[in-house]
Structures are given as structure tokens and as C-alpha cells.
């Protein structure tokens, strides 16, 4: 099996060699139910997802907007647990040893499971990285440093309000890639101005060689294409969870998520060709 800490770096090296941005897709594990969510997860790489963020359902997703809040609650109501989330990663690894998987969520479920137990099981399952939105750099000893000791990348978020004084602290123990939150507020917020975001990403590049993924508010292939012209990756979540919410059946939900993923992937792949034309 590919060493976990290499999958994310390898994928971004491949993207750089291909001179294109990657597509990072977010789904909540267990939404709308375990079987449908697993079916979607297994099909995402073929649909064009370069990196998969898999949400760890939690009862109080404070940094998320209504769409992802609803998706995590649907998952919990359907019986999703951390053990089931890790089992989904194991199932993906039986088919796909290349696509990086990042678990995204909050510290509480990890703390309740026990940090060392969680990290050992996540590493064994084939998880590559973590995004834990409510643990700032001041608490790196809680999870970030132990995660890195288990071979897991710890991916940090930077925002438009992360100033030059704070940025070095944010970057200090970040690995894998930096997730740039392109707008203030919660997930699913208004679409960002590509011109403004490009300037902000350029400013961060002066301080770090990490790949930069841009997310929050990107919902359409057209928006993804604009961001992909300068970002290393485009992150899409709420637009996918909205499809699940609006679907009339689980099967329709899975089809819709995969159809949008294919459209987004196509847009991301042609972005730089279009820019050069």
C-alpha cells in the first residue's frame, strides 16, 4: 500500500506535471445513508475527483453552512458513526490506492474516540490527512503533531482575515496542502471574486511552497474553472450536499453528485487551456 503521507504529495506533483489544478470534492460520510454514501465515495475518483474530503458527522458543525449542517445531521440520523466512516475508507482502499482521502470535521468526535485510537485506526484504514476546523495552531500538541507522527497530513485553513503576522503560525505545522477559505463566514457562502482570491493566493505563495486549494462558495463549473486558472486545487462541498438534499431518492442523490463532479472536473481540467487560448 502507498504510504499515507505520500499520496497527497504525489497527487499534487502529478497535477503540477500535468499543468492543471485538482478537484477536491466533499461529501458527508453516511449521507443520505451508509450504502449510498459508500457507493458515491467509490465512484468519485472515476468521476474526476483528485482528492476526496470525507466529512466526519458531528452534531454541532459550527463552521458549516445550512447545506453541510443538514448533510451531517442526515448522516447521524441514518446511524453514521466514526467506525463506519473509517470502514468506508477501508472499502475505498480495496479498490483505489492512489486517491488521497482527507477526513474533515471537528475535534469532539476524535476526542471522544481517543486521539491515539482514532489516529491509529485512521492510518490503518488508509486516511491521508485531517482537516479539523476547531483546533487552532496554539493546540497543535493535541492532534496536529500526533497525527503527523502517524503519517497523516494536517491541513490547515487560511482565510481572508489571516494577516501576515498570523500566517506563519498557521503554516508552521501544516502539510499536504493549505486550504484557502475564499470568503468569510460559513461553508456555502457567496461565490468569491476570482480576481480578489487570486491576489490573496499570490500573497500566501510568498510565504509557502505548499499547494493551495481554494474553497467556500464554489458551486458551478464556471466558477470552478475561473479558480482553477491560478489555484492548485478547487474545493467543492455545499453544491454536492445540496444535490443529496434535493434528490427524490438515494439513487438519484448519488447520480446527481457524480454528474456534477464530472462537470466540475471537466471545467477544472480545461481551465488553463482556456486561459492560454
- Residues designated catalytic: 53, 64
> What contacts 17, CB < 8 A, 6 or more positions away?
none
Residue 120 φ then ψ, to 5°: -65, -45
Provide the percentage of residues in the chain whose pLDDT is more than 70.
93
- Kindly state the helix (H) or strand (E) to which residue 25 belongs, with its residue range: strand 22-28
The domain total for the chain is 1
**Whether pLDDT at 9 is above 80:** yes
The rounded distance, in Å, linking the Cα atoms of 101 and 96 is: 10
Mind giving me the DSSP string for 156-177? PEE-TT--TTTHHHHHHT--S-
> What is the reported pLDDT for 275?
62
Angle at which helices 82-95 and 34-47 cross, to 10°: 40
**What pLDDT score does 65 carry?**
80
Domain holding 219: CATH number? 3.20.20.70
Sheet order of strands, 22-28 included = 153-154, 129-132, 101-105, 51-55, 22-28, 233-236, 212-215, 178-181, 157-158
* Structural domain that includes position 258: 4-276
Longest dimension (CA), the chain: 52
What pLDDT score was predicted for residue 145? 97
Whether residue 186 has pLDDT greater than 70: no
pLDDT at residue 235 tops 60: yes
Amino acid at each position: 500500500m502507498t504510504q499515507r503521507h505520500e499520496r497527497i504529495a504525489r497527487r499534487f506533483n502529478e497535477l503540477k506535471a500535468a499543468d492543471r489544478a485538482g478537484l477536491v470534492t466533499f461529501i458527508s460520510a453516511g449521507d443520505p445513508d451508509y450504502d449510498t454514501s459508500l457507493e458515491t465515495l467509490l465512484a468519485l475518483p472515476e468521476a474526476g475527483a483528485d482528492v476526496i474530503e470525507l466529512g466526519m458527522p458531528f452534531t454541532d458543525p459550527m463552521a458549516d453552512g445550512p447545506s453541510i449542517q443538514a448533510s451531517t445531521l442526515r448522516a447521524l440520523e441514518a446511524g453514521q458513526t466514526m467506525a463506519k466512516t473509517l470502514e468506508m475508507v477501508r472499502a475505498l482502499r480495496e479498490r483505489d490506492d492512489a486517491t488521497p482521502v482527507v477526513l474533515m470535521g471537528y475535534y469532539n468526535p476524535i476526542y471522544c474516540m481517543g486521539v491515539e485510537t482514532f489516529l491509529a485506526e485512521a492510518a490503518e484504514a488508509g486516511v491521508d490527512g485531517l482537516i479539523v476546523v476547531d483546533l487552532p495552531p496554539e493546540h497543535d500538541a493535541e492532534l496536529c503533531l500526533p497525527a503527523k507522527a502517524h503519517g497523516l497530513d494536517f491541513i490547515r485553513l487560511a482565510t481572508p482575515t489571516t494577516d501576515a503576522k498570523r500566517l506563519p503560525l498557521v503554516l508552521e505545522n501544516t502539510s499536504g496542502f493549505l486550504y484557502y477559505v475564499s470568503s468569510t463566514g460559513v461553508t456555502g457562502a457567496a461565490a468569491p471574486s476570482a480576481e480578489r482570491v487570486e491576489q490573496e493566493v499570490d500573497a500566501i505563495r510568498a510565504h509557502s511552497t505548499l499547494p493551495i486549494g481554494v474553497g467556500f462558495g464554489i458551486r458551478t463549473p464556471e466558477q470552478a474553472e475561473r479558480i482553477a486558472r491560478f489555484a492548485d486545487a478547487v474545493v467543492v462541498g455545499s453544491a454536492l450536499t445540496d444535490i443529496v438534499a434535493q434528490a427524490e431518492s438515494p439513487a438519484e442523490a448519488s447520480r446527481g453528485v457524480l454528474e456534477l463532479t464530472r462537470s466540475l472536473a471537466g471545467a477544472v481540467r480545461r481551465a488553463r487551456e482556456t486561459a492560454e487560448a
